């Protein structure tokens, strides 16, 4: 099967993608009870009668969960409903102790939003409409050890009742690459706003994708052509954004092959669910999805409705902080850096942006600070791992090094060596400069050095005199050998000045 990116200009079809994203909200406790939501605790240590669904227990809504959900919806440009309620979604599964999930059906707390993604390299730009965002509880975890061959499935209910925001997009995405880019933007936004840590490894962010193909068919006998649509497939079980992209690429190609073989269109067969098998790199059919009506939704009698006033929405909006899109533009304008540079910095999170702004303020030049951030700080951070808060070098130290470079004490490559040494030794910049034998070369020393070079290189002197200024480059290498601390730029300028002064 071909594995080219779907919806390349040459593809005879358009790939149509909609995403359904579940994010775990950053609360300490569950949606309807005071049990901790901490990840990784021993099984069934964070459970109580409410989240176990024991008789006589009653749910009470977590205020912070609702507020975080509203914040997410506002950031996604959604309308907040003045009146919202919860419903029971009924199905039987061992990880769902009550036999129903408390979710939202016909009156979600928000709807009709959008989130735009612009690829900083200009590959795509797409505004994706959001159908709805609603607040619901998570199920528990089923564990089945097939290798052990035991007949039992083990159930851990620590996760049962954890607050989730479900975000449903319109099928507005047009390529797997766009889908991945959009998910990156969504994740960045939710992390920035403190809504969720969006950690996919811990299941804090889960993605299902709906995909089908729109195939333009030529008309027959002069009639206008039409668009054939392949049956929609929902893909589950994708554990990273990279997997989402790969699964969509695979699935588009698979649907194209199936279409060519069968010509089956949407509506001629029920919507199919397929699971992504990451190691095999393929999607496999899963059980047919139950129809919506089979969940037999009805209003949750144990929870009262929630109303939200305009004043409350205004307060939530004010407390939200700048989303990444606003921050990118602000950073680019304030520090005179490119949109690409601003994107790189903002994508690393709020703490790194603060670190950058501290550095840029000390240095006084945004572009220089941005270069050092990307080439030295970020690269080192990526190699070492960890967060910017744990980074052993401070903005003050980097600004000190940059300041010495700007003063001409040494050049940028020397500055990089000093940065590396400060990083590994933990010493102060001044001590590193001293211990590396890097001393500022005095003007007298510089003049002496240059005169020595000119005397030893009559050919270069003659060439420069004859108008070939670039010949002076030959002197700089020699100067480095004689005195590694000599600033190449200064050496060049001094030599040129001295040659011009010659009779």
Partner 1 sequence: MALTRQDVAKVGLLARLALSGDDVDRMTGELSKIVGFVSQLEELDTNNVAPLAHPLDTQNVFRADEPKPSLTTAEALQSAPRHDGSCFLVPAVLGESGAA
Query: Helix axis angle, 443-456 relative to 488-501, nearest 10°?
Result: 60
Distance CA 435, CA 488 (A): 21
| Shortest distance (Å) from residue 243 CB to partner 1 | 16
Check residue 220 and report its DSSP letter: S
Query: Rounded to the nearest whole angstrom, what is the least distance from the CB of residue 317 to partner 1 in the complex?
Result: 19
* Integer Cα distance of 249 and 252 in angstroms: 5
Q: How far is the CB of 366 from partner 1 (least distance, A)?
A: 39
Q: Which is nearer to partner 1, 12 or 49 (CB)?
A: 49
Which residue number, 302 or 411, has a Cβ lying nearer to partner 1? 302
Minimum CB separation of residue 62 from partner 1 in Å reads 5
Given the complex with partner 1, which of 143 and 448 has the nearer CB atom? 143
Task: Give the nearest distance from C-beta 343 to partner 1 in angstroms.
Answer: 32
In angstroms and rounded to an integer, the radius of gyration of the C-alpha atoms of the chain is 31
* Ramachandran angles phi, psi of 186, nearest 5°: -60, -45
Shortest distance, position 162 Cβ to partner 1, whole Å: 11
Residue of 112, 107, 95 lying closest to 51 (CA atoms): 95
Nearer to partner 1, 45 or 361 (CB): 45
Residue closer to partner 1, measured from CB, 3 or 154: 154
Q: Which is nearer to partner 1, 150 or 262 (CB)?
A: 150
Site of interaction with partner 1 (CB under 8 A): 22, 27-29, 33-36, 42-49, 52, 54, 60-66, 83, 85, 89-96, 101, 107, 138-139, 142-144, 150-157, 164, 166, 206, 236-237, 273, 275, 286-287, 290, 294-296, 299, 301, 303-307
Q: Between residues 15 and 273, which has the closer beta carbon with respect to partner 1?
A: 273
Residue 104 burial by Cβ neighbours in a 10 Å radius (0-12, 13-18, 19+):
buried
| Closest distance to partner 1 from the beta carbon of 294 (Å) | 6
Residue for token pair 């797997």? 176
Nearer to partner 1, 85 or 492 (CB): 85
Q: CB-wise, 156 or 343, nearer to partner 1?
A: 156
How far apart CA 423 and CA 265 sit, in angstroms, is: 61
Largest CA distance in the chain: 104
| Contact by Cβ (8 Å): 30, 161 | yes
End-to-end CA distance of the chain: 76
Which secondary-structure segment (H or E) carries 71? helix 63-75
d(CA 491, CA 169): 61
Residues 6+ apart with CB under 8 A from 163: 24, 25, 27, 30, 31, 37, 62, 65, 68, 69, 135, 136, 137, 138
Beta carbon of residue 396, minimum distance to partner 1 (angstroms, whole number): 37
Q: Which is nearer to partner 1, 89 or 328 (CB)?
A: 89
Exposure b/e, 247-269, CB count within 10 A at least 16 = b: bbbbbbbbbbeebeeeeeeeeee
State in angstroms the smallest separation of the CB of 339 from partner 1: 36
Closest separation in Å from C-beta 183 to partner 1: 16
CA–CA–CA angle 236, 257, 215 (5° rounding): 90
């Amino acid at each position: 099967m071909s594995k080219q990116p779907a919806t390349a200009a040459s593809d005879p079809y358009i790939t149509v993608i909609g995403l359904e994203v579940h994010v775990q909200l950053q609360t300490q406790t569950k949606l309807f009870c005071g049990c901790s939501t901490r990840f990784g605790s021993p099984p069934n240590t964070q459970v109580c009668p409410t989240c176990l669904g024991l008789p006589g227990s009653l749910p009470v809504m977590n205020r912070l969960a609702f507020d975080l959900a509203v914040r997410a919806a506002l950031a996604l440009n959604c309308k907040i409903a003045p009146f919202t309620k919860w419903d029971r979604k009924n199905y039987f599964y061992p990880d769902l102790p009550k036999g129903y999930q408390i979710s939202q059906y016909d009156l979600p707390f928000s709807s009709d939003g959008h989130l735009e993604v612009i690829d900083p390299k200009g590959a795509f730009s797409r505004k994706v409409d959001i159908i709805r965002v609603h607040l619901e509880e998570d199920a528990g975890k089923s564990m089945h050890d097939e290798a052990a061959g035991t007949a039992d499935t083990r159930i851990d209910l620590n996760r049962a009742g954890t607050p989730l925001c479900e975000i449903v997009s319109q099928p507005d995405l047009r390529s797997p690459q766009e889908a991945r880019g959009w998910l990156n933007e969504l994740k960045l936004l939710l992390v920035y706003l403190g809504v969720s840590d969006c950690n996919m490894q811990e299941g804090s962010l889960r993605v299902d994708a709906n995909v089908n193909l729109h195939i333009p068919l030529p008309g027959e006998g002069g009639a206008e052509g039409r668009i054939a649509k392949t049956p929609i497939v929902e893909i589950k079980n994708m554990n990273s954004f990279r997997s989402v992209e790969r699964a969509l690429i695979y699935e588009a190609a698979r649907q194209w092959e199936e279409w060519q073989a069968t010509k089956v269109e949407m509506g001629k067969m029920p919507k199919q669910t397929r699971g992504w098998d990451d190691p095999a790199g393929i999607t496999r059919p899963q059980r047919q999805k139950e129809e919506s009506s089979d969940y037999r939704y009805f209003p949750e009698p144990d929870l009262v409705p929630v109303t939200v006033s305009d004043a409350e929405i205004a307060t939530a909006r004010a407390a939200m902080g700048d989303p990444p899109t606003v921050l990118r533009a602000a950073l680019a304008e304030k520090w005179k850096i490119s949109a690409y540079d601003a994107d790189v910095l903002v994508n690393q999170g709020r703490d790194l942006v603060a670190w950058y702004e501290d550095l840029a303020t000390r240095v006084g030049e945004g572009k220089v600070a941005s270069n050092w951030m990307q080439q030295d700080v970020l690269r080192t951070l990526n190699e070492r791992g960890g967060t910017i808060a744990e980074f052993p070098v401070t903005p003050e130290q980097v600004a000190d090094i940059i300041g010495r470079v700007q003063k001409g004490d040494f050049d940028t490559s020397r500055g990089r060596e000093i940065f590396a040494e400060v990083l590994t030794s933990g010493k102060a910049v001044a001590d590193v400069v001293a211990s590396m034998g890097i001393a500022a070369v005095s003007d007298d020393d510089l003049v002496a050095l240059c005169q020595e070079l000119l005397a030893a290189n009559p050919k270069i002197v003659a060439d420069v005199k004859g108008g070939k200024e670039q010949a002076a480059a030959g002197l700089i290498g020699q100067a480095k050998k004689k005195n590694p601390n000599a600033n190449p730029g200064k050496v060049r300028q001094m030599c040129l000045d001295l040659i011009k002064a010659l009779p």
